[in-house]
Amino acid sequence: MHLTRTHIDPILLSTIGIIFPLWTVYWSYLNFSLANVALVVIGSWLLGINISMFAHRNWCHKAWATNTFINLLGLIIFTLSLVGNSIGWVGIHREHHRFTDTEKDPHSPLYKSRWRIQFLSYFNPVKLPYIVDIGRSNLHLWFYKNYWYVNLVFFILLGFISIEFLSFWIAVIGLTIVKLHIINSLSHATPKFLIPMNNGSTSSNSLLLGLLFVNSGEAWHKNHHDDPKNPRFGKQWYQIDIPFLLIKLLVFCKLATIE
């Protein structure tokens, strides 16, 4: 059997999605202090902001656009977040919106177990119709082809600088991965203890998830599903949405446009 990226990526990413969060717990135990825990949380929040701004609102839904330099910066940070390559991420998410909470939805808790969504989502095949545009981008294609090399070089550089830096980075990545898949799993058919406000829809705005994702806006999930091409997820005054505030700042500075 000839192994290709379609075989290798799901295995490696799913392995990372299990091992790195375990390392986050272990690292936090070994280095426990309020300052260290805060640093890991802040690091994962920053990566979450980047994922929401670029992969979700820009590349997937084209809700806003920016220049090549800022787009490249977002793509570099996204690649180093180890939540999948940009082309695959966009393809799966677009398919999710096309078939939300039906049997064809790649990550609906109505048809798949939350455990599968949390740990095995990378095994969902990426279908060509959802990636035609982004698949033509030389920038995204380069980072797709060199995805593992970029991360390997970055890990080696961190280890060369300090093993402590590398250990900390793995802890940040572990928490980031967990939070990303929690949104996919728990923002649909949301358990009542998370205080969902779904107004009859399967997607929800969760107050408790809003506290956990206070800076990325992803917990205001129903708002997003009701209007996917709107770059603003937080509609009410208490629905904090930092990615949208940053997008507005870029627009103010003439570095971005809202579609």
Q: What is the pLDDT of residues 102-159, one digit of tens each?
A: 999 999 999 999 999 999 999 999 999 999 999 999 999 999 999 999 999 999 999 9
pLDDT value of position 210: 84
**Count, residues in the chain:** 259
- CA torsion sign for 68, 17, 114, 44 is negative
Asked whether the beta carbons of 75 and 89 are under 8 A apart, the reply is no
Looking at the predicted structure, is the pLDDT value of residue 190 above 70?
yes
Residue 190 contacts residue 196 (beta carbons within 8 Å) = yes
3-state SS track over the chain: CCCCHHHHHHHHHHHHHHHHHHHHHHHHHHCCCHHHHHHHHHHHHHHHHHHHHHHHHHHHCCCEEECHHHHHHHHHHHHHCCCCCHHHHHHHHHHHHHCCCCCCCCCCCCCCCHHHHHHCHHHCCCCHHHCCCHHHCHHHHHHHHCHHHHHHHHHHHHHHHCHHHHHHHHHHHHHHHHHHHHHHHHCECCCHHHCEECCCCCECEEHHHHHHCCCCCCCEHHHHHHCCCCCCCCCCCCCCCHHHHHHHHHHHCCCEEEC
pLDDT at 201 over 80: no
Q: Rounded CA gap, 185 and 112, in Å?
A: 9
Question: What are the angstrom distances between the C-alpha of 144 and each of 9, 44, 141, 171?
Answer: 11, 22, 5, 24
Encoding tokens for residue 8? 């290798």
Sorting pLDDT into bands at 50, 70 and 90, what band is 2?
low
The answer on pLDDT for 213 being more than 90 is no
Going from the C-alpha of 216 to that of each of 43, 50, 105, the distances in angstroms are 12, 8, 23
Could you give the CA distance from residue 256 to residue 100 in angstroms, rounded to a whole number? Answer: 29
Question: Tokens representing 17?
Answer: 């999605």
pLDDT value of residue 59: 98
Q: Which comes out higher in pLDDT, residue 65 or 5?
A: 65
Q: Residue 59: which of 164, 132, 165 has the closest Cα?
A: 132
* pLDDT attached to residue 208: 85
pLDDT digits (tens, 9 = 90+) for 38-94: 999 999 999 999 999 999 999 999 999 999 999 999 999 999 999 999 999 999 999
Which pLDDT value is given to residue 216? 87
Q: Are 34 and 42 in contact (CB under 8 A)?
A: no
pLDDT in tens, 164-183: 999 999 999 999 999 999 99
Kindly tell me if the per-residue pLDDT of 9 is higher than 60. yes
Question: Does the pLDDT value for residue 218 go beyond 90?
Answer: yes
pLDDT value at residue 107: 92
pLDDT of 3 above 70: no
pLDDT interval class at 215 (50, 70, 90): low
- Cα separation, 71 vs 58, in Å, equals 9
